[in-house]
Amino acid sequence: MRKLLCLFVLVAAAFAAEGSFTGQVVNGPNLDANKKWVFIQGARGPVRRVDINGARISFAPAVKKQDKAAKPEDAVREGAELRVTASQDGQGEWKASSVEIVKMAPK
């Protein structure tokens, strides 16, 4: 039984998709069951829900120093443009490993 469980876990991990995408925050962050969700809309229109809890959040070099928030996490809000690196689990949910703030949200 234990071997079967280990095999199942390895197979599930192999099917996890990993990718990078850029888009604008259209909703969030929202807290739900120890997850911090943001909804990111890509340039072509699709919206992805991404869990950013535990992700490394940073500013892109193009963001001016005077525009940066004291904590990058505070800059993740509606209107901000983000570059996200995330993996997709077997249920289609995106879990970010890194989030880069490419453009600040309008004030």
Res 20 pLDDT > 50: yes
Q: What average pLDDT does the segment 34-48 reach?
A: 91
Q: DSSP letter at 75?
A: G
pLDDT, residue 3, reads 55
Give the class (CATH, top level) of 17-103. Answer: mainly beta
Asked whether the predicted pLDDT for residue 9 surpasses 50, the reply is no
Tell me, what's the pLDDT at 10? 46
Domain extent listing, the chain = 17-103
Tell me: pLDDT of 21 over 50.
yes
Are the beta carbons of 22 and 45 closer than 8 angstroms? no
pLDDT at 65 > cutoff 50: yes
Give yes or no for residue 8 having a pLDDT over 90.
Answer: no
Residue 7: the pLDDT is 42
**Dist. CA 71–CA 88, nearest whole Å:** 26
pLDDT at 95 > cutoff 90? yes
